[in-house]
Chains A and B, each alone.
Chain A
Amino acid sequence: MVHRRELNGEELILGNQGALWGNAMTWWDHDTGSVWSQPIGEAILGPRKGERLELLPSTLSTWQGWRSAHPETLALDVNGFRSGFDLDDMAVVADLGTETVAYSIPALRDVGVVNDVIAGTEVAVVIDPDDPGRWAVFSRQLDSDVVDLEMSVEGLVDIATGTVFDPFLGVGRSGPLADQVLDKLPAFTSFPADYRTFFPDGRTWPS
């Protein structure tokens, strides 16, 4: 997950509290010592209790998928590591503040794209069926239109106008709306049990 570590314009330095809450990590901030919960980005103890950090868009991807979408990307300087994670055990969670929805990754792979409405916002959840590390959540609201999207061999297609968008960057490629860009929305991947712990009122797809 990626959070903006800024509160009322003030930059926060955060460390590892070494404690778990709801089986998820907690942080401490260096100036007040408040303790923060990672999955909700909220201080649960200390002077900042109840304050919240903004969740920012990020992508869990294979290195190949990320690099092809962002050829100029910088890479965190570490020695080589491998991960043995199975994305089919996870869900893509879209968190729009007042409503949260978890989309099962294997079910997403069956359809490629889901058009949905979360907290009053028209969204599309997109995944590459062959590389589930590549997914994105977009707003379907453009300047004046709301688009309904489907996956085709060319990319993400607006059913009404035939406009093709890049499925992971949201950039228009061809068609009447090619000069427009779908906005990316905050989302992350989670195991279902963790999602139920932190978002007990959250919706799941398929329901």
Chain B
Amino acid sequence: MDSRRSSPVGLVLAGIVAVAAVAVIGGRLAADEAAADRPLELAAPYEVYDPVSAGEPLPAGFRQLLGRDQILPVYEPVFTEASRVDWPDDMLVIGVAGAEEAKAYPVAHLNRREMVIDSLEGIPILVTW
């Protein structure tokens, strides 16, 4: 969830979107999360050029299976201290570290969301699984 969204109007809007998604899609958790998590300031996928629908020649083996962002990336990740999570010791994480900062992303969560748009020490990074 987006911890920076703090205005009551924003919260209400997010709630309406989430409820609408549940109503339409029948309560699928991923869809619910997707509607609530989608940062409102980002471009909608259909507003941006798509080489596939534009008919560009596709490389062999290219298969368009879902719509853009149907599996929603984590566009605005929120982090917590290591001491505040109770993850099992043997749980797999992808870790990144700079000189000052280190971050861990559970593989099981990446299995569901596939992409995290993040930064490390001011460097924009993309974490994928």
A residues apposed to B, CB below 8 Å: 1-6, 11-23, 25-28, 30-35, 38, 44-47, 53, 56-64, 66-67, 69-78, 80-83, 85, 133
Q: Which B residues from 14 to 33 make CB contacts under 8 A with A?
A: none
3 closest A-B pairs by beta carbon, nearest first, are A81-B108, A18-B66, A33-B49
Set B71, B91, B105, B116: member contacting A18, Cβ < 8 A? B71
Q: How many chain-B residues does the 8 Å CB contact rule pick out?
A: 68
Q: Which of A6, A58, A76 contacts B79 (CB 8 A)?
A: A76
The verdict on B111 contacting chain A, using a C-beta distance below 8 Å, is yes
Q: Decide yes or no whether B65 CB sits under 8 A from chain A.
A: yes
Task: Give Cα A164–Cα B41 distance, bound, in whole angstroms.
Answer: 50
- Residues on A with C-beta less than 8 A from B111 are 81, 83
Q: Is the CB of B104 within 8 A of A66?
A: yes
By the criterion CB–CB under 8 Å, are A6 and B123 in contact? yes
Residues A28 and B90 in contact, CB atoms below 8 Å apart: no
B11 at interface (Cβ–Cβ under 8 A)?
no
**C-alpha spacing A5/B103, complex, angstroms:** 17
Q: Which residues of A contact B84 (CB under 8 A)?
A: 75
**B106-A3 in contact (CB<8A):** no
Q: Most A CB atoms within 10 A — which of B51, B61, B111, B114? A: B51
